[in-house]
Structure 1
Amino acid sequence: MAVTHAASSLGDGIRVALSDSFGDEITVGEPRQLTGGASRQIWAVDVRGVDGQSQDVVLRRDPPGHGDADRMRAEVACLRAASAVGVPVPTVLASGDTAPGIDAPYLVMDMIVGESIPRKLQRDSEFDEVRTHLADAMGYVLGQIHRADTGTLGMLDAGDPLDAIEAVYRDLEQPRPAVEVGLRWLRENRPARRPNALVHGDFRLGNVLVDGGGIRGVLDWELAHLGDPIEDLGWLCVRAWRFGAEPPVAGIGTREQLLDGYERAAGIRPSEAELHWWEAYGTLRWLVLSQFQSQRHLSGAENSIELAAIGRRVCESEYDLLLILGLLDNIDPSPDVAVPSVHDRPSLSEILELVTGTLRDDVAPVLDGAHERERYLLRICVNLLGIAGRELSAGDRTGEVTELLAALDCTSEADLADRIRTGAVSYADTAVRQLISTAVLTRLRVANPRHVLRPSQT
């Protein structure tokens, strides 16, 4: 795991923060910043008591100067409420709005050892046995979370999640027909709302720690809120969190296993229709959040190749949303037309393919664990080069979409999106379905053709 080193003042701040739990005579090693923190920094540090016994602890803090004390206090409250009902979570050892040397809202907790990388959990032989019951175990843990006492959690948001994600989408001012279809379908088919419970908000592989015995810890409570508990189950079933694997629950199990575990812990079992609605909502939510993340780069607010690359993945969620709503028409693309070129071979698309293959097969494998970040960025570059090569090979298919738009008297996809929103056209109309499917599949077959399911898989 990649680490960086901090000034000693951070270690001093951690030592003072932990004095109530460990006493004044503890010594603290040099903090090591761990990779993986998105909006918050994560530091590991070795703490040694006067008896010579050592313990690894973890500091989570907001970036200095950009703190949200209310949100950090809420995360601490969630961890304690979840722990009280048996949810495996790190023990909070210290927390505060700030401290000398830490200089931001923070919490310190014990370190739980386990694996969180989805592809390892899905494929590595050491997890073969635990995979047979991991979906059930995830359902059981969610049932425990939803039984937590919310009496101390009044600081959490408790609004309508569909209203909230629509507000994010509207603020982007990037109308998309697939999103408008999703919003209308969700409002027309919404199930009765269950009583508010503690909702984790981002429960999926990557945010749980697992070993050969099962789930050892539930992490990252930043998005926790009060709401309909089935939201967490639907989010776990979103196709994006399968990471290419086929089983519908996190790529490791079935919905029946998930619901079996959940029913044992929570005493309720949502219907297939209810779970389906929340899975559709989760897919729409990830679609909009992907738009939001890419816009952070495209607007100039944050220069990031990672965020930029997400912009080409929005069509994956468009496809998934149409698929789960039963509104996807599998349109075959028009045949490629070879365009003569004055240039010698290798062609531009062939050059991109050669460079992509060299970086992927010859350069990436020689980077060791000390270059984890560089390997990650290299994978992004390889993916973007692949997209560029496929787009060149496919040619510009904008004309196909333009013709379908013209048949509906629409000037653009944004125009069609507005008409779906106002009800001027129906998303169930055959011509509308064909147009949206054609546009989404055209984008997806360039961005990530492996994401398109075979007929036998749908």
Structure 2
Amino acid sequence: MGETEIAGALERGLANALARVSLPAPEGLRRLTGGATMESWRFSSGGEDFVLRRAPSLSFMAGRPFGHATEAAIIRAAHRAGVTAPEVVVELTPDDGIGSGFVMRALPGTPDPRAILEMGDPAQLLREVAQDLARIHSLNRKSLPGDVPEMDYADAVAGLAEQFEEAGADRPIIALGLKWLQDNLPEPVEPVLNHGDYRLGNILAEDSHLTGVLDWELAHFGDRHEDLAFGCMAVWRFSRVERPALGLGPLEDYLAAYEAASGVGVDRERFRFWMVYRTVWWVLGCLRMASFWRSGDDRMLERVVISRRTSEQELDLLLLIEEDAPEEERLRPVPRAADVAEPLGEASAGELATAIAEWLGTVKERMEGHDRFQLAVARNALGMIARNDAGAMQVEDAALARELLAGGKSLASPGMLARLRRAALDKLAADVPKYPMLARARTLWMGED
């Protein structure tokens, strides 16, 4: 079913839902780009703009800690407390016939990370982000739904290990990260409400001011340092990897603003633990995207492409934990890349993929909305095929992963760090060669400009 047909079905169900709050039928319904898990659709009703947040299928909600009714209640509580959360207008019901979700009043500002990073006063926006996060962490538990989960740190790390096993347990760098988490598990602290996904891409901004915080589906009670760390991961800094705090500025400025707003000090060691934890969490989340696609629950092209972003997180994870390696291992030269033979004879699979990607570029201007976004994703996928075909890499090594996870080998093992660095560089160069941290890693590890 194409975007136009889906929009037609949604209009009928939305009209049903909106009527419950005395709003007229939707107009101008259109799919918004982005969103690794949920769909977002923007529309007008009665002269105002709204956004529908919706699961792509009811089965997609299976296994989640809570449903959209609880998410909507969390957002309502945050909105009442002065957090820059949207106003929830109405939740969908089964009778609406369009799945699970809710409607929010649209907020001003853009969610586009690159547009936000170009705004004139990033320091001001960073302060407002820190203040907003402090408000979220101060929410009274009694004002929130009773089924919001509380994280047990040890259980959470064990859950990541289970996901690793389900995904094949054959990625050495992920195994190394899991072992580090097991060895560095912190003592529990008084839990606060965590947004769970507070980062560029999930905030709205306008003229260097924070105007909204979106996507509360991962909210839970836990360590405030987890929320602080997640937005600082390299992947969420986009093009501004030199600005550790959400791509907006220095980490110390961010943490100082948070401490001033919350009245609570930030423990730098706990912060580092949650940086590593969330990097492992996200790399495994990327791997799971392929299983969603294979199951048929969600056959969106984005799922399989996101699954290849594991290479980003593997490199970032190695950068986070390699400082624990002995100095002689950190100084050991990285092996040079293997030579790749020039193709001969008929076109290779990679060359076919390149040809298709080039042709798709010629029809880009004929596409609109989410279809145009999907075309760009398709071209990225074809580029991955072409580059992987040229490199013919072997990234899985179950035996080594088991040894690292068991502690039989580590970053202290002679040559291990250099070997993993080479593997991370080669894999990322094939999957996402424009990822900004790739250039930084090459400079740090090989002295390349």
Within 5 A, what are the aligned runs for 1:374-389? 374-389=371-386
Q: Matched residue of 1:46: which SS?
A: strand
Deviations 1:11-46 (Å, cap 9, x if unpaired)?
442333214xxxxxx533437143245544444443
How far off is 1:210 after superposition?
Answer: 0.8
How far off is 1:140 after superposition?
Answer: 1.6
State how far apart, in whole Å, the 2-side matches of 1:134 and 1:44 are: 25
State how far apart, in whole Å, the 1-side matches of 2:238 and 2:201 are: 11
Matching residue's letter, 1:199: N
Deviations 1:297-321 (Å, cap 9, x if unpaired)?
3566644432222333212211110
Q: Matched residue of 1:58: which SS?
A: strand
Correspondence for 1:14 among 14, 17, 38: 17
Change (3 A) 1:256 1:348: same
Note the residue ranges of structure 2 that are not aligned, 5 or more in a row. Answer: none
- TM-score calculated relative to the size of structure 2: 0.82
Task: Give the structure 2 partner of residue 117 of structure 1.
Answer: 112
8 Å Cα contact 1:239/1:283 also seen in 2: no
Q: Matched residue of 1:424: which SS?
A: coil
C-alpha root-mean-square deviation of aligned residues, in Å?
3.1
8 Å Cα contact 2:56/2:298 also seen in 1: no
Q: Matched residue of 2:248: which SS?
A: coil
Task: Give the structure 2 partner of residue 442 of structure 1.
Answer: 426
Deviations 1:330-376 (Å, cap 9, x if unpaired)?
62434525457356xx988667656645644x543x346xx132332
Task: Give the structure 2 partner of residue 186 of structure 1.
Answer: 181
Task: Give the structure 1 partner of residue 162 of structure 2.
Answer: 167
Task: Give the structure 1 partner of residue 52 of structure 2.
Answer: 59
Q: Which moved more, 1:30-39 or 1:231-240?
A: 30-39
How far off is 1:421 after superposition?
Answer: 2.1
State how far apart, in whole Å, the 1-side matches of 2:101 and 2:343 are: 61
Task: Give the structure 2 partner of residue 336 of structure 1.
Answer: 339
Say whether residues 1:200 and 2:195 are aligned partners.
yes
State how far apart, in whole Å, the 2-side matches of 1:65 and 1:339 are: 48
8 Å Cα contact 2:85/2:212 also seen in 1: yes
Matching residue's letter, 1:114: G
Matching residue's letter, 2:285: L
Say whether residues 1:236 and 2:231 are aligned partners.
yes
State how far apart, in whole Å, the 2-side matches of 1:213 and 1:422 are: 47
Structure with max Cα Rg:
1
State how far apart, in whole Å, the 2-side matches of 1:392 and 1:39 are: 29
Q: Which moved more, 1:243-252 or 1:311-320?
A: 243-252
State how far apart, in whole Å, the 2-side matches of 1:64 and 1:349 are: 33
Say whether residues 1:155 and 2:147 are aligned partners.
yes
Deviations 1:393-442 (Å, cap 9, x if unpaired)?
44x455xx8xxxxxxxxxx7101111222223334312332333333223
Deviations 1:76-96 (Å, cap 9, x if unpaired)?
221132223321111223336
Q: Which has the higher contact order (CA 8 A, sep 6+)?
A: 2
Matching residue's letter, 1:336: D
State how far apart, in whole Å, the 2-side matches of 1:349 and 1:456 are: 28
Within 5 A, what are the aligned runs for 1:273-422? 273-298=269-294, 302-326=298-322, 331-334=334-337, 336=339, 338=341, 341-342=344-345, 356=357, 359-360=360-361, 362-364=362-364, 366-367=365-366, 371-394=368-391, 396=392, 398=394, 413-422=397-406
State how far apart, in whole Å, the 2-side matches of 1:8 and 1:340 are: 51
State how far apart, in whole Å, the 2-side matches of 1:300 and 1:102 are: 20
Say whether residues 1:28 and 2:25 are aligned partners.
yes
State how far apart, in whole Å, the 1-side matches of 2:185 and 2:95 are: 49
8 Å Cα contact 1:333/1:442 also seen in 2: no
Correspondence for 1:216 among 192, 200, 211: 211
8 Å Cα contact 1:331/1:441 also seen in 2: no
8 Å Cα contact 1:6/1:30 also seen in 2: no
Q: Which moved more, 1:215-224 or 1:184-193?
A: 184-193
Change (3 A) 1:312 1:438: same
Q: Matched residue of 1:28: which SS?
A: coil
8 Å Cα contact 2:57/2:297 also seen in 1: no
How far off is 1:106 after superposition?
Answer: 4.0
Task: Give the structure 2 partner of residue 87 of structure 1.
Answer: 83
Task: Give the structure 1 partner of residue 130 of structure 2.
Answer: 139
Deviations 1:136-157 (Å, cap 9, x if unpaired)?
2222211111011112333111
Change (3 A) 1:453 1:269: farther
Task: Give the structure 2 partner of residue 51 of structure 1.
Answer: none
8 Å Cα contact 2:31/2:41 also seen in 1: yes
Change (3 A) 1:172 1:119: same
8 Å Cα contact 1:31/1:43 also seen in 2: no
Q: Matched residue of 1:449: which SS?
A: coil
Matching residue's letter, 2:158: D
Matching residue's letter, 1:226: F
Matching residue's letter, 1:148: L
Correspondence for 1:453 among 414, 439, 449: 439
Within 5 A, what are the aligned runs for 1:60-79? 60-62=53-55, 65-66=58-59, 70-79=66-75
Q: Matched residue of 1:180: which SS?
A: helix
Q: Matched residue of 1:115: which SS?
A: coil
- TM-score calculated relative to the size of structure 1: 0.81
How far off is 1:263 after superposition?
Answer: 1.2
8 Å Cα contact 1:137/1:258 also seen in 2: no
Note the residue ranges of structure 1 that are not aligned, 5 or more in a row. Answer: 20-25, 49-53, 402-411
Q: Which moved more, 1:318-327 or 1:428-437?
A: 428-437
Change (3 A) 1:115 1:248: same
Q: Which moved more, 1:240-249 or 1:212-221?
A: 240-249
8 Å Cα contact 1:10/1:31 also seen in 2: no
